């Protein structure tokens, strides 16, 4: 990979790291923060879900705009919107303000993630694609890993201070991207115009990677279900503090970063992306259900780390396969990828928060069943696809 491409990829990794560390930063704080508003599990679920709702709506728009007009300006715009909304979240005094601010955080993220993924696809060959997606995945995981730790530490200053810090750093990332990130030409000049969100979703049903989009939806559902419920689960069942929760999530993220940064490309080469996806879905399902049967800090830490490592394997594997199949419509494919991910992120926390208020064990059982079902669906699809390729040969 040429030096200029590497520099661009490093900036993209930094943008993803900042974006997702800001998301992870609030996780250990939210149960305590929401208590100041007189809210609990259901409110937390909907606060997380509303970010995903905004991403679902705006990700296809951002993907298509990036195909037409280039990636850089959209990434910068997204970073500024994201940063401002996080500062406003810390300044909020009513619950409805929290919902509004998180909606705009979702809008900002929608204008960051698909253009970043499409930009990475533009500057890499098929051979380099898996490595680049692995690096971006590692940046995401590193953000999730460091975010909760920073959030737990900064919350000792005040509960609102982490939001101010996250917003300021995100805006700084936008300025840095404006100065350093090279502007590249859009991947294609002409594309299908006039499609609304529903038409784009319908078109995704006909793509060759539709089952992979279903995988994106399901594992995102599982991740969001786990992350939104785990903080409440550990707080209410074991009386964990924000610092305790930060440690659990940070160690899990660190394991994912190590695997993605140092082993993922080799794993792709040896086993292929599809086997990695299947393995990740199975381990994620078992470890999510296993959370119900463990106690003691270090055992909980181990099971949570297994789950985090499994899902960090799935994300870059799916992204790589979708990107390799998308051809010239990298922006559209990345937008659909993020939309299906957002659907999972939206439905997962909203449902998990409601189920948690019924009984704290139900979200873990339900999430495990969904992930296991996705494993069998993907296994059958991959087997049929392999058989079809052999028959054509």
352, 45 contact by CB (below 8 A): yes
149, 80 contact by CB (below 8 A): no
Helices (H), 39-196: 41-69, 72-91, 95-110, 113-122, 126-154, 161-180
Compute the CA torsion angle 227, 103, 163, 155 (nearest 10 deg): -40
Q: How confident is the model at residue 103 (pLDDT cuts 50, 70, 90)?
A: very high
pLDDT, tens digit, 9 for 90 and up, residues 199-247: 888 888 888 888 889 888 887 887 777 777 887 788 888 888 877 887 8
Between CA 146 and CA 161 the distance in angstroms is 16
pLDDT at residue 85 tops 90:
yes
Between CA 244 and CA 248 the distance in angstroms is 7
Closest Cα partner for 373 from 185, 177, 166, 219? 219
pLDDT at residue 175 tops 90:
yes
228, 101 contact by CB (below 8 A): no
- Average pLDDT of 356-373? 89
pLDDT at residue 191 tops 60:
no
Topology annotation, domain 3-180+202-388: Growth Hormone; Chain: A; (1.20.1250)
Give the distance, in angstroms, between the CA of residue 145 and the centroid of all CA atoms in the same chain: 13
pLDDT at residue 358 tops 70:
yes
| Residue 361 DSSP label | T
99, 47 contact by CB (below 8 A): yes
8 or 348, greater pLDDT: 8
Give the distance, in angstroms, between the CA of residue 296 and the centroid of all CA atoms in the same chain: 28
**Model pLDDT, residue 57:** 85
- Average pLDDT of 32-56? 77
258 or 173, greater pLDDT: 173
Between CA 235 and CA 219 the distance in angstroms is 24
Place of tokens 């939309």: 339
Tokens of 15: 């943008």
**pTM (whole model) above 0.85:** no
- Average pLDDT of 303-313? 87
136, 10 contact by CB (below 8 A): no
pLDDT at residue 195 tops 70:
no
Between CA 107 and CA 83 the distance in angstroms is 11
pLDDT at residue 307 tops 60:
yes
Q: How confident is the model at residue 189 (pLDDT cuts 50, 70, 90)?
A: very low
From residue 165, alpha-carbon distances to 125, 221, 260, 294 in Å are 37, 28, 27, 35
């Amino acid at each position: 990979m040429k030096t200029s491409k590497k520099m661009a990829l490093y900036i993209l990794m930094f943008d993803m790291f900042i974006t997702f560390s800001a998301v992870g930063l609030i996780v250990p704080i939210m149960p305590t923060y929401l208590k100041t508003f007189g809210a609990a599990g259901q409110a937390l679920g909907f606060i997380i879900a509303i970010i995903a709702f905004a991403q679902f709506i705006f990700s296809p728009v951002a993907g298509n705009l990036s195909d037409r007009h280039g990636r850089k300006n959209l990434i910068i715009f997204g970073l500024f919107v994201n940063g401002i909304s996080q500062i406003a979240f810390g300044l909020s005094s009513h619950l409805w303000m929290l919902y509004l601010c998180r909606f705009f955080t979702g809008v900002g993220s929608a204008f960051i993630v698909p253009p970043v993924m499409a930009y990475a696809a533009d500057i890499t060959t098929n051979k380099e694609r898996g490595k680049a997606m692995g690096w971006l995945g590692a940046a995401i995981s590193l953000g999730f890993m460091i975010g909760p730790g920073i959030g737990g530490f900064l919350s000792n200053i005040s509960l609102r201070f982490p939001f101010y810090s996250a917003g300021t750093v995100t805006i700084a990332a936008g300025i840095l991207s404006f100065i350093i990130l090279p502007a590249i030409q859009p991947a294609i000049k002409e594309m299908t115009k006039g499609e609304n969100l529903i038409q784009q979703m319908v078109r995704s049903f006909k793509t060759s990677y539709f089952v992979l989009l279903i995988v994106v939806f399901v594992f995102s559902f599982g991740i969001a279900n786990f992350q939104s419920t785990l903080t409440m689960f550990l707080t209410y069942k074991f009386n964990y503090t924000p610092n305790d929760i930060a440690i659990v999530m940070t160690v899990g993220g660190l394991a994912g970063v190590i695997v993605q940064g140092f082993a993922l490309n080799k794993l792709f080469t040896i086993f292929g992306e599809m086997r990695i996806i299947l393995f990740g879905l199975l381990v994620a399902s078992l470890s999510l259900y296993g959370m119900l049967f463990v106690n003691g800090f270090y055992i909980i830490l181990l099971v949570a780390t297994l789950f985090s490592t499994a899902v960090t394997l799935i994300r870059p594997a799916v992204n790589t396969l979708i990107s390799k199949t998308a051809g010239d419509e990298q922006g559209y494919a990345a937008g659909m990828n993020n939309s299906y991910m957002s659907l999972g992120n939206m439905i997962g926390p909203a449902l998990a928060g409601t189920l948690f208020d019924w009984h704290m064990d139900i979200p873990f059982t339900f999430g495990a069943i969904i992930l296991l079902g996705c494993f069998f669906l993907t296994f059958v699809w991959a087997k049929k696809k392999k058989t079809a390729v052999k028959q054509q040969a």
